[in-house]
């Protein structure tokens, strides 16, 4: 596992420690982290502060996103996939998609390369959270 996914996992764990949903995201450009974030829907009482959105906000305006890579511990949902497509991010690396399939086909249909690492650590983090917090998880995914 590379340093960027490790940083995304650290973000996810930070979110969990704050009482939130354990999903983390990192934005990389020129082999350096330029943004990072984690799901803060619970902490911020904001329904759209998903990890990827928090990460993009923290990266700030960078002009062009075509040479960036977005890492996320979980396959991005349609909200976050929409941001990926809107900003022209061409590559997304997800930690896993077993606990939530996300919007992979949507991103790929818009020319985004999507890699699913299928990492046991990411799956365990989410499956434990979902088992312990089913109502909160269902709220997060709109069920």
Orientation angle between helical segments 51-59 and 3-17, nearest 10 degrees:
110
Cα 56 to chain centroid, rounded: 10
Which residues are tagged catalytic? 52
Candidates 69, 79, 70; CA nearest to 100 is: 79
24 DSSP β-pair partners: 38
CB burial class (10 A; 0-12, 13-18, 19+) of residue 116? Answer: middle
* CA atoms within 13 A of residue 53's CA, in its CB half-sphere: 15
Secondary structure of residue 26 in the 3-state scheme: strand
């Amino acid at each position: 596992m590379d340093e960027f996914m490790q940083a995304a996992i650290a973000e996810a764990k930070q979110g969990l420690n704050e009482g939130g949903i354990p999903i983390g995201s990192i934005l990389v450009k020129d082999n350096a982290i330029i943004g990072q974030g984690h799901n803060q829907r619970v902490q911020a009482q904001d329904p759209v502060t998903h990890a990827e959105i928090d990460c993009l906000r923290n990266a700030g305006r960078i002009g062009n996103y075509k040479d960036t890579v977005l890492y996320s511990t979980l396959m991005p949902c349609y909200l976050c996939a929409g941001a990926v497509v809107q900003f022209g991010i061409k590559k997304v690396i997800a930690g896993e998609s077993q606990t939530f399939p996300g919007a992979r086909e949507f991103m790929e249909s818009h020319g985004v390369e999507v890699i699913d690492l299928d990492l046991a650590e990411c799956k365990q983090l989410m499956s434990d959270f979902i088992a312990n917090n089913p109502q909160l998880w269902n709220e997060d995914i709109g069920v």
